A = this chain, B = another copy of it.
């Protein structure tokens, strides 16, 4: 079965990001596919490359990257949510004359059309926030 997973919450403020990650791992463990991860609203914090995690805490950003890399999953970050929250890729940083990029390269800036396309292509869409 094909899933898409939508994440609305930042790992720093809500457990929902960790829940979504565990759910994604269970989907793959069960032999199912993930059409797309989509990060919306405060969920864009999961894709930020400038976070620092205390040594005795779980680095959720890093765990997302591992999951995406190992399984070749598409991970989209809503463009309008992201730019308002300072999560930008190199191209946007240049266009808007910002000091640098803050989106980790495992993630890609995406429009909401890609979320809707993921819905059309998935058997189940599950949101966490």
Contact = CB atoms under 8 A, between A and B. Distances in A.
Contact of A51 (B52, B53, B86, B100): B86
B51 A85 contact: yes
Given A42-B42, A45-B85, A85-B45, A50 B13 contact: no
Interface of A: 10-13, 41-42, 45, 48-54, 80-81, 83-88, 92-93, 96, 98-102
Task: Give this chain's copy count.
Answer: 2
A13 B100 CA distance: 23
Interface of A is mostly: loop
Nearest to A93: B50
B85 A48 contact: yes
A12 B81 contact: yes
A12 B85 contact: yes
Nearest to A51: B86
A86 B93 CA distance: 16
A107 to B, nearest CB: 13
A66 to B, nearest CB: 18
